[in-house]
Chains A and B, each alone.
Chain A
Amino acid sequence: MTDVRMKVWRGDATGGAFVDFTVPADEGMVVLDVVHRIQATHAPDLAVRWNCKAGKCGSCSAEINGHPKLMCMTRMNEFAPDEHITISPVKTFPVVKDLVTDVSFNYEKAKTVPPFKPKPKDPDGKRRMYQEDVERVQEFHKCIECFLCQDVCHVIRDHEENKQSFSGPRFFVRLAALEMHPLDANDRVELIRAKHGLGFCNITKCCTEVCPEDIHITDNAIIPLKERVVDDFYDPVRWFLRKLSGKKRS
Chain B
Amino acid sequence: MECTLYRLLTDDGAVSGAFGYWRGSGKLVLFRAKAIVLATGGVGKAWKITSNSWEYTGDGFAMALDAGADLIDMEMTQFHPTGMVWPTSVRGILVTEGVRGDGGTLKNNKGERFMFRYVPDFFRAETADTEQEADRWYEDKRNNRRTPDLLPRDEVARAINTEVKAGRGSPHGGVFLDIATRRSSDYIKRRLPSMYHQFMELADVDITTTAMEVGPTLHYIMGGVRVDADSAQSTVPGLFAAGEVAGGMHGSNRLGGNSLSDLLVFGRRAGLYAAEYAKRVARMPRVDDRQVETAATGMLAPFERPEGENPYAVHADLADTMHELVGIIRTRAELEEALTRIGRLRERAQRVGVKGSRVYNPGWHLALDLLTMLTVSEAVAMSALMRQESRGGHTRDDFPKPDPVWGKKNVVARRREGRLILTPEPLPELPSELRPLIGEDKPTGKIVLEPVAAASAKE
Contacts and interface: CB of A to CB of B under 8 A. Distances in A.
A and B physically associate: yes
Contact of A29 (B86, B89, B93): B89
B136 interface: no
A54 B89 contact: no
Chain A: number of interface residues, binned into ranges:
20 to 34
Interface in A50-80: 50-57, 73, 75
A46 B357 CA distance: 11
A191 interface: no
A98 B203 CA distance: 29
B361 interface: yes
A30 B355 contact: no
B27 to A, nearest CB: 13
B1 A104 contact: yes
B218 to A, nearest CB: 15
A98 B357 CA distance: 12
A26 interface: yes
B361 A47 contact: yes
B355 A54 contact: no
Contacts of B94: 54
A54 B198 contact: yes
Contact of A27 (B54, B87, B197, B202): B87
A28 B87 contact: yes
B203 A45 contact: no
B362 A46 contact: yes
B88 A28 contact: yes
Nearest to A46: B362
Contacts of A39: 312, 362-363
B379 interface: no
B24 A40 contact: no
Contacts of B203: 28
A100 B93 contact: no
Contacts of A107: 1
B310 A44 contact: yes
Contact of A40 (B312, B355, B360): B312
Interface in B75-97: 86-90, 93-94
Nearest to B367: A44
Given A45-B362, A45-B364, A52 B354 contact: no
B347 interface: no
Contact of A28 (B90, B93, B310): B90
B360 A97 contact: yes
Contact of A96 (B24, B89, B198): B24
A48 interface: yes
Chain B: number of interface residues, binned into ranges:
20 to 34
B355 A53 contact: no
A45 B361 CA distance: 5
A interface, by DSSP: helix, strand, loop or mixed? Answer: loop
A48 B23 CA distance: 11
Contacts of A209: none
A26 B203 CA distance: 14
Given A51-B55, A52-B53, A55-B201, A44 B354 contact: yes
A44 B311 contact: yes
Contacts of B1: 104, 107
A30 B311 CA distance: 22
Contacts of A227: none
B427 interface: no
Given A51-B53, A73-B201, A98-B360, A44 B312 contact: yes
Interface in B359-408: 359-364, 366
A95 B366 CA distance: 22
Contacts of B53: 51-53, 57
Given A40-B310, A51-B55, A45 B356 contact: yes
A235 B314 CA distance: 67
B313 interface: yes
A42 to B, nearest CB: 10
A75 B202 CA distance: 8
B362 A44 contact: yes
Nearest to A100: B360
A184 interface: no
Nearest to A102: B24
A64 B10 CA distance: 47
A44 B360 contact: no
Contacts of A100: 24, 360
Interface in B91-115: 93-94
A48 B2 CA distance: 13
Contacts of B93: 53-54
A107 B86 CA distance: 36
Given A44-B312, A96-B24, A28 B359 contact: no
Nearest to A40: B312
Contact of B359 (A30, A33, A52, A97): A97
A46 B364 CA distance: 11
Interface of B: 1, 24, 53-55, 86-90, 93-94, 194, 197-198, 201-203, 310-313, 316, 354-357, 359-364, 366
A-B complex: 7 closest residue pairs judged by Cβ atoms: A28-B87, A44-B363, A45-B356, A40-B312, A47-B360, A97-B360, A33-B89
Given A44-B363, A47-B362, 6 more contacts: A29-B87, A44-B310, A45-B355, A45-B362, A54-B202, A55-B198
